[in-house]
Amino acid sequence: MLAASLMLTAACPADAGSLLKPRDSAPAILPVNDAFQLQPVLWRDGKLDISLDIAPGCYLYRDKIQVEVLEPTGLKLGRVALPPGELHQDEHFGVVRVFRQQLAVQHRVDHPPQRLRIRYQGCAEGLVCYPPQVREVTVESLR
Amino acid sequence: MSSSKKQILAVAALCFAAAGVGFGAYRYLAQPHSIDEPGGMAPEITLNDLTGTPRQLSEWRGKLILVNFWATWCAPCLHEIPMLMDMQQQYGGRGLQVVGAAMDEVEAVRIGAPRLGIQYPVLVGDSEIINAMQALGDQLGALPYSVLINANGMIVSRKHGEFERDELIQLIEQNLPTTGG
């Protein structure tokens, strides 16, 4: 019954949200880890899969994305080819390329890296920008 | 009391408790969005200015201080700054002090601040700025972030994102020191 009650409570988040919206109904600004969710990094069959889910209304700058190997030292990734992204006219920075919704990268590398450092940076359209993010992740190797 | 009544009461109590837990959890999750509420006394904040000299917020105590966290890589911040300069010009004589706090490399701000025409004090740092933002109530790590501190050192407003001009004027008018600083 307790579980059922909890399910009932969780089943109407939209109603709860309407009650609990800020009074000025300003658009909600997400914490950075909700705006950009780095998914587990996988290596499988000689390919590295890196994926970032991007919340609606948010975007990542293409030229701010960097991937480097932490371990094993000496392993070179080479140039990680990113998708082209889409053009974005920025009032201050001109035309830039950005990613929306999802960034999915598949990069061929024969030997699996163990740890990576991934950098990215982005904004919530017309609201805020998030500082450059640095994540150090362990690669899940699926042989 | 019959066992069926006891069962009904127990179920009702469980439902009520579960609803409370759910509501509390939702409030907790929703809290970062309620960032426009005032928040007690401002802690002392020390940050370097563009010459590397440590500056303390208490230096401007007695004025209405608008601390604006920004960065040269933040487009909405750059868009907002001309309005903040207007506010400093319009209300500086009545006790408003805008202070820019840039999350950036010093050199980028040394070049960027004059280019933007910023006349008010600019402080700069990296992790120091993040710490200062958090000390002043930031829970999102997003820019711009502005904190309005009244002449008594009380935080009277916090906001992520750009101010609307009318909104900011109203806030300033409501909180200017009575003596003009």
Q: Where along chain B do its domains lie?
A: 3-32, 36-175
Residue A7 is assigned to a structural domain of this protein: no
Q: Chain B partners of A28 at a C-beta cutoff of 8 Å? A: 33
The whole-angstrom separation of Cα B2 and Cα B103 is: 66
Q: Residue A123: which domain range? A: 27-142
Whether residues A124 and B32 touch (CB distance < 8 A) is answered with no
What is the predicted pLDDT for the residue at B91? 98
Could you write out the DSSP letters of every residue in B62-104? TBEEEEEEE-TT-HHHHHHHHHHHHHHHHHGGGTEEEEEEEES
Cβ neighbours of B30 in A, within 8 Å = 17, 20
- For residue B144, the number of C-alpha atoms closer than 13 Å in the C-beta half-sphere is 24
Answer yes or no: is A35 within a domain: yes
Type of residue at A66: Q
CATH number at residue A96: 2.60.40.1250
Give residue B38's pLDDT: 59
Is the CA virtual torsion A110, A114, A117, A121 positive or negative? positive
Which residues of chain A neighbour B26 with C-beta distances below 8 Å?
Answer: 13, 16, 20
Q: Which residue of B8, B9, B14 to mutate against A (max A Cβ within 10 Å)?
A: B14
Helices B106-116 & B75-91, crossing angle to 10 degrees?
Answer: 60
Domain total for chain A? 1
In this prediction, residue A92 carries a pLDDT of 84
Omega cis (within 30) before B114: no
**Cβ proximity of A139 and A113 under 8 Å:** yes
Q: Is residue A16 part of a domain?
A: no
Q: What is the pLDDT of residues A9-60, one digit of tens each?
A: 222 222 333 333 344 456 689 999 999 999 999 999 999 999 999 999 999 9
Best of B8, B23, B27, B74 to disrupt the A interface (most A CBs within 10 Å) is: B74
> Which regions in chain B score pLDDT beneath 50?
22-36, 180-181
Q: Specify the pLDDT at position A28.
A: 85
Q: Does A58 touch chain B (CB under 8 A)?
A: no
Q: B167: alpha, beta or left, given left = phi > 0 and alpha = psi -120 to 50?
A: alpha
Identify the pLDDT of residue A66: 96
| Per-residue model confidence (pLDDT) at position B34 | 35
pLDDT score, position A143: 73
Please return the burial class of B13, using the count of CB atoms within 10 Å of its CB with bins 0-12, 13-18 and 19+: exposed
Tens-place pLDDT, residues B46-89: 999 999 999 999 999 999 999 999 999 999 999 999 999 999 99
Find the farthest-apart pair of alpha carbons in chain A and give their distance in angstroms, rounded.
57
A104 in a structural domain:
yes
Over 60: is that where the pLDDT of A2 sits?
no
Mean pLDDT calculated for residue range A56-71: 96
Specify if A6 maps to a domain. no
CATH number for domain B36-175, candidates 3.30.43.10, 3.40.1160.10, 3.40.30.10, 3.30.1330.10 = 3.40.30.10
- pTM > 0.80: yes or no: no
CB contact under 8 A, A10 and B22: yes
What pLDDT does B24 receive?
44
Contacts for B159 with CB less than 8 Å, ≥ 6 apart: B35, B36, B145, B146
Helices (DSSP H) in chain B: which residue ranges?
Answer: 3-30, 75-91, 106-116, 127-135, 165-175
